């Protein structure tokens, strides 16, 4: 057996490498000690703050929500309401823990203040001094107060309001606040009469204005249309001045505008009103070719597969673009929706639409064709198996989608 030793140069290199590794280990240990000291310091600081808060901050006041002993209390309300909206406001508690909690709430107050020039006046007040006892299950949620159930409030004056609630929870004082805004305003909306247009057509735009206030308003309908390319370059700007019009409370008026022809492309169309600081947007699709053959598309339906008996049927009906690189500019001649009870061979619902319609679908996207909800109601009063058939036709072909549903008795 032979043994090999290192040359002096190799031993020197070995010693240098060993020294580097030893120094690196020392640096890492030093960093670890520093990190541990930082963690210990932060933990001690947090404990001191928590302990001190019990003595120096006996009232829990942390905005519109707070968690005490794994129970979350919160004011649930929108930040903004528009006339004539109801004030949908609730005070809720939620058990974030894994055990049942015994809850006792007393001295409950709910107040809405109206803010005016840095001062406040009481707009609404509710008090309940009796003790409320409740066992809150793990991950359970319970409404402590529901304004809509106690006293529905709507159509209130324009301005800023502060919601405040105070109560005792198991002997601890809780105070929550939330600021909301109730707006009286004029709102604009825009829409087109077709899903897309040809390069030689004048797109027809409707500007809709509505008075969301308690008073009749004399509105100056003025602004500008701006058409941008996909790259946010301004393609066209059109000044709009339709004069003054009187609008009663919640009254709507609509105005028609023809936009000059524009070259092929997908654009963003904005109506901007600087006075009200409003901008509303819709896409504007322009093409030089209409597709009348239904290809590279399919149909889909968004609905439940199981319905309890006597419930209303509801569903969304779509055309889907299977091409993920190119938009679709379709012209359909109509569509049908049919719901059949198979056991009795009974047509429960039959809808036919023979209206010619343009359908624009973005690359890989979908476009809604029809929606069924409570108007008109489709009541599923016959139990059993159903067949839902959705078909779309063009001048050249028809495509169809069918799916099975079941209506039964829920337990």
The full set of domains in the chain, from first to last, is 60-183 (2.60.40.10), 185-287 (2.60.40.10), 297-408 (2.60.40.2550)
Q: What is the pLDDT of residue 374?
A: 78
- Across the range 178-201, mean pLDDT stands at 96
Q: Name the token pair of 139.
A: 């991950």
For residue 290, CA distances in Å to 161, 263, 359 come to 53, 15, 10
The DSSP-derived string for 95-111 is: E-SSS-EEEEEEEEEEE
Residues 108, 132 contacting (CB under 8 angstroms): yes
Q: Which residues pair with 76 in a beta bridge?
A: 90
Beta strands in 35-100 (DSSP E): 59-60, 65-68, 71-76, 80-82, 90-95
149 φ, ψ to 5°?
Answer: -80, -35
User: Angle at CA 182, nearest 5°, toward 181 and 184?
Assistant: 130
Q: How far apart are the first and last CA of the chain?
A: 85
Q: Name the token pair of 290.
A: 């209409």
Q: Name the token pair of 332.
A: 């359909």
The model's pLDDT over 8-39, given as tens digits with 9 standing for 90+, comes to 555 455 555 556 556 556 555 565 665 555 55
- Selection from 182, 173, 183, 175 nearest residue 110 by Cα: 175
Residues 329, 351 contacting (CB under 8 angstroms): no
pLDDT-wise least confident of 23-27, 71-75, 211-215, 337-341: 23-27
- Given a cut of 80, whether residue 396 has pLDDT beyond it is yes
Share above pLDDT 90 across residues of the chain, in percent, rounded to a whole number: 78
pLDDT-wise least confident of 57-66, 126-135, 168-177: 57-66
- Given a cut of 80, whether residue 290 has pLDDT beyond it is yes
Q: Name the token pair of 150.
A: 């106690």
Give every CB contact of residue 295 below 8 A, 6+ residues apart in sequence: none
Q: State the pLDDT confidence band at 315, using cuts at 50, 70 and 90.
A: very high
Q: Which residues pair with 192 in a beta bridge?
A: 205
Percentages (nearest 5) of helix, strand, coil residues in the chain:
15, 55, 30
Query: pTM for this structure?
Result: 0.73
Q: What is the pLDDT of residue 47?
A: 46
Token pair 């209130």 is at which residue?
156
Which region, left, alpha or beta, applies to residue 100 given φ > 0 means left and ψ of -120 to 50 means alpha?
beta
Residues 277, 252 contacting (CB under 8 angstroms): no
Q: State the pLDDT confidence band at 4, using cuts at 50, 70 and 90.
A: very low
The model's pLDDT over 245-278, given as tens digits with 9 standing for 90+, comes to 999 999 999 999 999 999 999 999 999 998 888 9
Q: Which residues pair with 95 in a beta bridge?
A: 71
The model's pLDDT over 95-119, given as tens digits with 9 standing for 90+, comes to 999 999 999 999 999 999 999 887 8
Radius of gyration of the chain (CA): 33
- 71-76 and 90-95: which strand pairing? antiparallel
Beta strands in 19-79 (DSSP E): 59-60, 65-68, 71-76
- Given a cut of 60, whether residue 345 has pLDDT beyond it is yes
- Given a cut of 70, whether residue 6 has pLDDT beyond it is no
Q: Name the token pair of 160.
A: 């800023």
- 172-183 and 59-60: which strand pairing? parallel
């Amino acid at each position: 057996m032979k043994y090999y030793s290192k040359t002096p140069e190799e031993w020197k290199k070995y010693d240098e490498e060993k020294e580097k590794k030893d120094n690196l280990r020392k640096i890492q240990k030093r960093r670890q000690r520093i990190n541990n000291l930082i963690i210990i310091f932060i933990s001690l600081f947090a404990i001191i703050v928590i302990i001190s808060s019990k003595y120096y901050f006996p009232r829990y006041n942390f905005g519109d929500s707070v968690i005490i002993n794994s129970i979350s209390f919160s004011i649930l309300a929108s930040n903004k309401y528009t006339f004539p909206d109801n004030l949908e406001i609730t005070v809720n508690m939620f058990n974030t823990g894994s055990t049942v909690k015994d809850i006792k709430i007393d001295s409950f107050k709910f107040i809405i203040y109206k803010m005016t020039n840095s001062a406040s006046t009481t707009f609404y007040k509710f008090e309940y001094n009796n003790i409320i006892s409740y066992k809150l299950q793990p991950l359970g949620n319970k409404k402590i107060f529901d304004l809509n159930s106690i006293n529905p409030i709507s159509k209130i004056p324009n301005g800023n309001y502060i919601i405040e609630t105070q109560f005792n929870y198991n002997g601890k004082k809780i105070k929550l606040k939330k600021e909301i805004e109730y707006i009286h305003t004029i709102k604009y909306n825009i829409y087109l009469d077709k899903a897309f247009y040809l390069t030689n057509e004048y797109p027809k735009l409707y500007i809709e204005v509505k008075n969301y206030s308690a008073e009749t308003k004399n509105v100056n309908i003025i602004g500008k249309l701006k058409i941008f390319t996909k790259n946010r370059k301004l393609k066209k700007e059109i000044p709009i001045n339709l004069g003054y019009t009187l609008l009663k409370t919640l009254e709507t008026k609509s105005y028609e505008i023809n936009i000059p022809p524009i070259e092929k492309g997908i654009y963003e169309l904005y109506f901007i009103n600087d006075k009200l600081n409003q901008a509303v947007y819709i896409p504007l699709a322009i093409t030089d070719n209409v597709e009348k053959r239904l290809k590279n598309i399919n149909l889909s339906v968004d609905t439940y597969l199981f319905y309890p008996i006597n419930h209303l049927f509801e569903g969304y009906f779509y055309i889907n673009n299977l091409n993920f690189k190119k938009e679709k500019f379709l012209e359909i001649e109509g569509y049908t929706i049919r719901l059949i009870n198979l056991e009795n061979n009974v047509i429960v619902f039959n809808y036919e639409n023979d209206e010619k319609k343009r359908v624009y679908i973005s690359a890989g996207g979908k476009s809604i064709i029809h929606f069924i909800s409570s108007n008109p109601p489709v009541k599923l009063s016959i139990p059993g198996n159903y067949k839902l058939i959705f078909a779309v036709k063009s001048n050249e072909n028809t495509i169809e989608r069918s799916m099975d549903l079941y209506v039964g008795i829920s337990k």
